Structure 1
Amino acid sequence: RRLAGASAVTDTTEGAIVVLDLDGGVRAMVGGRAWSRSQFNRAVRARRQPGSAFKPVLYLAALEAGKTPETVVHDQPITIGGWSPKNDSGTYAGTMTLRHALAHSVNTVAVALQQDIGTARVVSMARRLGITST
């Protein structure tokens, strides 16, 4: 009920909340605004590109490679092989720390960081964390 009321005010179109108990069991989940209108559960059925969800893996690999949360990076335009990633805000913020870049999910910094530490390090970290691809 709160989610439905909040979405009317903020124009939110969807939401997902998962609460885990100490035993790992799911205790509550919200897969959308109104089950009576749509039984599609966005929390477990929606497909999304994993970019921002994967950033902690990238940053963990960067820490292992010698970067620190206070390492200074630059949020600026970047192009790799004809691809120019953009930030969600559509702007660039200039100089910042890795801590700030991760906290604000800055896409251009993540791409530059991956180029800096190398794809192999990121893939290795993902595999060690149990992330695989088919």
Structure 2
Amino acid sequence: MDSPMCLDENADGELHVVPGAIKYLTGLNQKVIVVAVVGLYRTGKSYLMNKLAGKRKGFTLGATIQSKTKGIWMWCVPHPEKRDHTLVLLDTEGLGDVEKGDSKNDAWIFSLAILLSSTLVYNS
């Protein structure tokens, strides 16, 4: 996968799985290790995930105080040490965004990241 793609859209206060993402995941022929990052908005989650991917660009970074990531985005990259594994990086929408103001949505994003991941990083 050359760049991240949306796994779970956040539109109108509801989460929707993106069919193209599911199609991509079901086409993988390797074992996967899923790493998700969650935390407050504007705390560097996307930057951290780009570092884990070993890339300077990938997940969108913002230079303002407004959050960039909406929903959950995934990036499938070769595992750096295990040749027969794919590393699935999940970058999540930031929690506690006052402009969004929806704690129920935050709970869904957080819960989904926990359920999908092999390893969860809480970025505080």
Band of TM-score, shorter chain:
under 0.3
Q: Which has the higher contact order (CA 8 A, sep 6+)?
A: 2
Which of the pair is proportionally richer in strand? 2
Give the greater-gyration-radius structure (CA).
1
Which of the pair is proportionally richer in helix? 1
